[in-house]
């Protein structure tokens, strides 16, 4: 593969996921800040926040549906067309959320339509990550799959930084009343421009060599989803559980922490958003480092070291985040997001490596998004409830349990780093 071709592929795998994560994170940030009072105005502030976090979870429930649907077509007709469609669906849903009237204007239709559009976001996102990871990994030279696999992973911190910087700028430029009245909508509407850029990049792609070779050897699987649950159950289960801690630590240290910091701890919105933007840089640093290490030392040692640190962070979450001291709060966020990046980096290669080419899009996508249901969909809601009912220390226990589950799953996995194609290793 020529250098320009490699650059184009890696940029396409990165740009699309950055946009997708941006779309997802602007909703997560809005859920922590304004969705409750605008769409669920009845009830105490804590109840409004819980209702907003419940809508946040809807997209995670939709993601496996998108993973199965887009995975089916990605394994049967190709990666390119499927990646374009997933980006369009999520982008359209995001823009429409920015146009949606609140409860004061249309009553119960507002939260109902919000839930529908969140479902659309989830369906689009469900098909995005698996295709982007395959685009990078299936074009990687020997011995560099994990390094190539970091590019879709880097979309996560970049999308997060873009979303939070935009919200931070709006918080500084607008009064709280203007921000709640209309300012929060601007990041959603801006997604239209970003999606246009992503489509331009992806429409220039060609199919991956691995997919073309698989089609030459045999016709595609008739129902890839049925195949992964009949022939690759172990890979699907272990891959799902291995991702749980990464999701949990991320959403606890971003969505929940933002709500807790601006609510219970009393931080100004712009101050805590700035903390998050600083901390996410540590995640962006950890992802390429762990990708390089996973190619050099193997996927399992890198993953296990990150999960051990994540479990330890559960023990200090209460004393650090709950202290309210700026230095301790920021230190916890930086450590947590570095640990998340260290776990997340190798996943771009590891999950695709668990499945053969003929069902790889479906397998990687379903595994990744089932983990979202287990590790992320209820994390902000559960953490908010635990903090209010039992104290912040119970949130740390929640994180430690998630890390233990993932640690056990990685122990039980095969090491896929040295395998030529890592196909079908999870039977």
Backbone angles phi, psi at 151, to 5 degrees: -65, -45
Backbone angles phi, psi at 371, to 5 degrees: -60, -35
Report residue 423's pLDDT band, with 50, 70 and 90 as the boundaries. very low
Predicted local confidence at residue 208, as pLDDT = 83
DSSP assignment of 124-180 equals: HHHHHHHHHHHHHHTTPPTT-HHHHHHHHHHHHHHHHHHHHHHHHHHHHHS-HHHHH
45-54, 113-122, 360-369, 381-390: segment of lowest average pLDDT: 45-54
The 10s digit of each residue's pLDDT in 231-268 is: 999 999 999 999 999 999 999 999 899 989 998 999 98
Is the per-residue pLDDT at 339 higher than 50? Answer: yes
DSSP assignment of 275-294 equals: HHHHHHHHHHHHHHHHHHHH
- Residue 48 in contact with residue 37, Cβ under 8 Å? yes
Predicted local confidence at residue 426, as pLDDT = 38
Predicted local confidence at residue 71, as pLDDT = 94
Is the per-residue pLDDT at 101 higher than 50? Answer: yes
Report residue 225's pLDDT band, with 50, 70 and 90 as the boundaries. very high
The architecture (CATH level 2) of 3-412 comes to Up-down Bundle (1.20)
Is the per-residue pLDDT at 4 higher than 60? Answer: no
Cα 218-222-225 angle, rounded to 5 deg: 115
Is the per-residue pLDDT at 171 higher than 90? Answer: no
Which residues lie below 8 Å from residue 171, measured CB to CB, with a gap of 6+?
A: 179, 269, 270, 273
Report residue 421's pLDDT band, with 50, 70 and 90 as the boundaries. low
Report residue 168's pLDDT band, with 50, 70 and 90 as the boundaries. confident
Is the per-residue pLDDT at 404 higher than 50? Answer: yes
Q: How far apart, in whole angstroms, are the C-alpha atoms of residue 215 and residue 218?
A: 5
Is the per-residue pLDDT at 422 higher than 70? Answer: no
Give the pair of three-digit tokens for residue 321.
């985040």
Helix (H) or strand (E) holding 385: helix 379-389
Mean pLDDT of 167-196: 90
27 vs 314 pLDDT, higher one: 314
């Amino acid at each position: 593969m020529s250098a320009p071709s490699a650059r184009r592929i890696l940029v396409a795998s990165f740009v699309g996921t950055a946009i997708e994560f941006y779309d997802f994170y602007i909703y997560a940030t809005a859920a922590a800040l304004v969705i409750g009072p605008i769409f669920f105005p009845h009830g105490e502030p804590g109840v409004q926040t819980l209702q907003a976090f419940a809508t946040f979870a809807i997209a995670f429930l939709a993601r496996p549906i998108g993973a199965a649907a887009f995975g089916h077509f990605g394994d049967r007709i190709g990666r390119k067309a499927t990646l374009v469609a997933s980006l369009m669906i999520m982008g359209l849903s995001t823009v429409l959320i920015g146009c949606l009237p609140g409860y004061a204007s249309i009553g119960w239709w507002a939260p109902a339509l919000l839930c529908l559009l969140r479902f659309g976001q989830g369906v689009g996102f469900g098909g995005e990550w698996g295709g982007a990871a395959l685009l990078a990994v299936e074009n990687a030279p020997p011995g560099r799959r994990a390094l190539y696999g970091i590019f879709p992973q880097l979309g996560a911190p970049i999308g997060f930084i873009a979303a939070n910087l935009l919200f931070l700028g709006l918080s500084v430029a607008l009064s709280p009343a203007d921000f709640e009245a209309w300012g929060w909508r601007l990041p959603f509407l801006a997604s239209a421009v970003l999606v246009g850029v992503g489509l331009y990049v992806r429409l220039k792609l060609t199919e991956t060599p691995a997919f073309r070779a698989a089609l030459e050897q045999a016709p595609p699987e008739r129902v890839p989803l049925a195949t992964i649950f009949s022939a690759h159950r172990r890979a699907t289960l272990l891959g799902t559980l291995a991702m749980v801690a990464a999701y949990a630590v991320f959403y606890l240290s971003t969505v929940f922490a933002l709500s807790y910091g601006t609510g219970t701890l009393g931080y100004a919105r712009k101050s805590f958003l700035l903390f998050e933007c600083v901390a996410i840089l540590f995640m962006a640093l950890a992802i390429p480092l762990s990708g390089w290490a996973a190619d050099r030392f193997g996927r399992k040692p890198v993953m296990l070291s990150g999960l051990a640190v994540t479990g330890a962070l559960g023990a200090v979450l209460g004393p650090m985040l709950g202290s309210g001291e700026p230095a301790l709060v920021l230190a916890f966020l930086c450590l947590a997001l570095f640990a998340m990046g260290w776990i997340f980096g190798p996943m771009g290669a590891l999950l695709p490596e668990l499945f053969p080419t003929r069902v790889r899009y479906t397998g990687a996508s379903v595994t990744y998004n089932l983990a979202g249901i287990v590790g992320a969909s209820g994390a902000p809601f559960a953490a908010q409830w635990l903090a209010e009912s039992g104290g912040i220390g119970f949130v740390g226990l929640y994180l430690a349990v998630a890390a233990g589950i993932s640690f056990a799953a990685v122990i039980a996995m095969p090491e896929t780093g040295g395998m030529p194609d890592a196909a079908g290793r999870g039977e």
